[in-house]
Structure 1
Amino acid sequence: MTQPEDRCVLAVDVGGTTIKGAVVGDDGHIRHSLTVPSRADDDPVKAVRSLCLQLRDDALALGATPAAIGVVTPGLVDEVAGVVRYAANLRFRDVPLRALVSDDLGLPVAVGHDARAAGVAEAVAGAASGLDNFLLLPLGTGIAAAVVVHGAPVPGATCAAGEVGHMPVYPGGEPCSCGQRGCLEVYASAGGLARRYARLGGTPGADSRDIADAVATDPVARAVWDDATRALGTALATLTLTLDPARIVLGGGLADAGALFFDPVRDALRGALAWRPPPPVLRSAFGAQAAQVGAAIMARREAGLPVPEGWGTAALAPPVA
């Protein structure tokens, strides 16, 4: 008979560039991980299914029995139906991901949105632990938000809640790939920051980390950085007035800049709220791992396994040999 310590869940975070998978033990430690290209120019659905199968086989080879698998993606995700309605970067449209992975692996499958899954991780064991109402914004290639109300991530009427990257912050501003102008994502995402920096004469190929390092000496870097933090603070003020979160959690590469990033964002947020104090703005506890940890938590819940408060913190430790 399989002992409890041999039980595990599988967690898969599908991105536009890579797919990250992990075998997560009953104690929350990552026992094994792998990353493969998402092959957006080939067959990304096949790539996801192949990684899930490999992950299951790897778990069995470790002597661990998977109880369930959690798979999270960007885009419009119908968690109830287990269908990815639309994900532009993956060329997913009406992909019945739960049914496909369940048929392949013979396991219970939880399908979710990556930002909402990251919110689950932060609520259970991260920067929003113990809170029922908060916002999480991972600032990556794009910007989405986990809107957590009364302890549950809100999907919205069309599974599109949290697409705050396309909130206009500079009306009539620079064009966005969505067809609008002045979107938050153009100015404050890591990808948007790099594109604006290059377009305005900055060093070609510089990423958000390079730009942060150059803020003190490069006027172009300073200008795009100030635009980004001001735009984000403005957007967070609108979200605060709409949702009244107890806390706002920021993740992604820009958050790695620490006070250089958080101080002006907090100042911009405070300056846009004349009659009420702003909510605390904190850094994500899990960073780039948040969605994967959330996928593991969703898998445990799908399998009917307990998720004690703080369970996901073990995932931040080095993988168990």
Structure 2
Amino acid sequence: MIDSRAIGIDVGGTSIKAVIADRRDGRVLLERRTPTPSPDPDGRGVCATVARLADDLPDARDLPLGVVVPGIVDESRGRAILSANLGWRELELAAMLRESCGRPLALGHDVRAAALAEARWGAAADGDGVLAFVPIGTGIAAAILVDGHPLVSDGWAGEIGQELLADGPFAGRRVEEVASAAAIARRAGEPDAQRVAARVAAGDPVAARVWDGAVDVLATALAHLALVVAPRTVVIGGGLALAGDTLLHPLASRLRDRLGGIRVPDVRAAVLGDRAGALGAALIAGGSS
């Protein structure tokens, strides 16, 4: 019988998550987490931590391994081109990880991997065609799947959070400086965006103004994305997805207003939570997605 298990490791800005997952149904069979080494400009601390996590997983030495990281990642060349959160630039990361782990592995991008997992087992498992997965947390990015295949463009595809706003009250700022979960919390004076969402639901006018501005900016960014790649489904992930209908209802409405007669994507909340990246890493392990 073929072993359907694989190891997926998701390197985040604050923690590294490792799972053993069953690739038939996405079940997490085992999970481990550890803090991400920081600072780590040469990537060696992360490579050593990934190797230790993989080695500590029981009965897993012969399982295929996938590792995903944030930033600009060119999977075809095995390079981490840029990661502002981790301080990396132009690292031959796949080769470094293989040397540290002493085994073959697949390198991927955290957001594209999470999109694969949501498309296989999560919020978009009933769909096909073009999917956009948009996690909204510390920053904002998008992963675009076309019939299940990620759009990579040498690692640069999907950086919608970096769009510079040309007009309106936030002119001169970037999308993620206004509409990310971290930006919303900061502008409302709260520790996280969920607190802001709770204040909005309770009718707080100050929180509502912050929220309204963020939803406007996010709807504009998603409209631009929809006009170019026409996704059937947009899955919202990250911390802001926990706001549920407080976010999804006004976002879908304003997106519809901006698109006029153009097809409006179905906007949904992600369902796999912060395991999505690690599950996607397990999917790409051994070259399978």
TM-score normalized by the length of structure 1: 0.82
Q: Which moved more, 1:43-52 or 1:105-114?
A: 43-52
Report the CA distance shift for 1:42/1:160 in structure 2 as closer, same or farther (over 3 A).
closer
Give runs of aligned pairs for residues 19-168 of structure 1, distance below 5 A: 19-25=16-22, 28-42=26-40, 45-59=43-57, 62-129=58-125, 130-156=127-153, 158-168=154-164
Superposition deviation, residue 163 in structure 1? 0.5
Give the whole-Å Cα distance in 2 for the aligned partners of 1:193 and 1:123. Answer: 28
Q: Deviations over 1:7-62 (max 9, x none)?
A: 74221111111111222346543233222222322567233222322223222xx3
- What one-letter code is carried by the residue in structure 2 that aligns with 1:208? A
Give the whole-Å Cα distance in 1 for the aligned partners of 2:257 and 2:29. Answer: 46
| Match in the other structure for 1:253 | 239
| Match in the other structure for 1:212 | 197
Give runs of aligned pairs for residues 180-191 of structure 1, distance below 5 A: 181-191=172-182
Give the whole-Å Cα distance in 1 for the aligned partners of 2:129 and 2:101. Answer: 34
- What one-letter code is carried by the residue in structure 2 that aligns with 1:219? P
Give the whole-Å Cα distance in 2 for the aligned partners of 1:43 and 1:31. Answer: 32
Secondary structure of 1:135's aligned partner: strand
Report the CA distance shift for 1:154/1:26 in structure 2 as closer, same or farther (over 3 A).
closer
- What one-letter code is carried by the residue in structure 1 that aligns with 2:43? V
Structure 1 unmatched runs, 5+:
176-180, 199-204, 308-321
Report the CA distance shift for 1:23/1:42 in structure 2 as closer, same or farther (over 3 A).
same
Structure 2 unmatched runs, 5+:
none
Give runs of aligned pairs for residues 8-23 of structure 1, distance below 5 A: 8-23=5-20
- What one-letter code is carried by the residue in structure 2 that aligns with 1:63? D
Superposition deviation, residue 173 in structure 1? 5.0
Give the whole-Å Cα distance in 2 for the aligned partners of 1:26 and 1:73. Answer: 20
- What one-letter code is carried by the residue in structure 1 that aligns with 2:184? L
- What one-letter code is carried by the residue in structure 1 that aligns with 2:53? L
Give the whole-Å Cα distance in 2 for the aligned partners of 1:286 and 1:15. Answer: 16
TM-score normalized by the length of structure 2: 0.91
| Match in the other structure for 2:279 | 293
Give the whole-Å Cα distance in 2 for the aligned partners of 1:43 and 1:237. Answer: 36
**Number of residues of Structure 1 aligned to a counterpart in Structure 2:** 286
Contact residue 233 and residue 268 of structure 1 kept, 8 A? yes
| Identity within the alignment, % | 38
Give the whole-Å Cα distance in 1 for the aligned partners of 2:85 and 2:277. Answer: 17
Q: CA RMSD in A?
A: 2.2
Give the whole-Å Cα distance in 2 for the aligned partners of 1:24 and 1:44. Answer: 29
1:283 matched to 2:241? The reply is: no
Contact residue 110 and residue 298 of structure 1 kept, 8 A? yes
